[in-house]
Amino acid sequence: MTDPGTGAPAAARPEYETLVEGTALPPLRCALTRADLRRYAAASGDHNPIHLDDAAARAAGFPSVIAHGMLSMAKAVGLVADWAGDPAAPEESFARFARPVPVPDDAVGAVLDVRATVAAKLPDRRVKVAVEARCAGEKVLSSAWVVVRLGPS
């Protein structure tokens, strides 16, 4: 089986019965660019100028525009959904936004590093996954978790 998005071999879906707490998920490293912020603003309807305009962001005390917190959270939830092998697997999520993610006006943008670990096996084939997201070494999501339901393998 191949991943429909990349054509690469698809990762094996986790099996609830053999899953062990403490198991690390494959990490995600992704860039967030100004173009990503514009697309997210259009999709979400969140056109707050701190996400789109440097002058407005600086007036609010930020060094430059900052990524939408929910965009960072979406990347974290996406990592867990990809691991679960089903975009509909996430049922619950939570995060505190620990610090903003400044997005420079360059081709690279901000680099987000997301790591996740199986925190607990719950009833009904549900799994709680602890998530951490960092940018430039600083934690940007804290107390973050995602609960997914693992279907039959």
CATH number for the domain harbouring residue 130:
3.10.129.10
101 near 32, Cβ under 8 Å? yes
What does residue 85 show for φ and ψ, rounded to 5 degrees? 80, 20
Average pLDDT over residues 93-110: 96
106 within some domain: yes
Dist. CA 26–CA 80, nearest whole Å: 9
Residues shown for the chain: 153
As given in the structure block, the two tokens for residue 5 are 């998005």
Give yes or no for residue 46 having a pLDDT over 50. yes
53 within some domain: no
Q: What is the mean pLDDT of the chain?
A: 93
Number of domains the chain contains: 1
Band (pLDDT 50/70/90 cuts) for residue 8 is very low
Give yes or no for residue 111 having a pLDDT over 90. yes
116 within some domain: yes
- Note the pLDDT of residue 4: 46
Domain holding 97, by residue range, is 20-32+67-149
43 within some domain: no
- Sequence-distant (≥ 6) Cβ neighbours of residue 57 within 8 angstroms: 49, 50, 51, 63, 64, 65, 66
Pairing between β-strand 110-122 and β-strand 28-32 as defined by DSSP bridges: antiparallel
The whole-angstrom distance between residue 42's C-alpha and the CA centroid of its chain comes to 19
122 - beta bridge partners?
126
What does residue 4 show for φ and ψ, rounded to 5 degrees? -65, -25
25 near 83, Cβ under 8 Å? yes
102 - beta bridge partners?
66
50 within some domain: no
45 within some domain: no
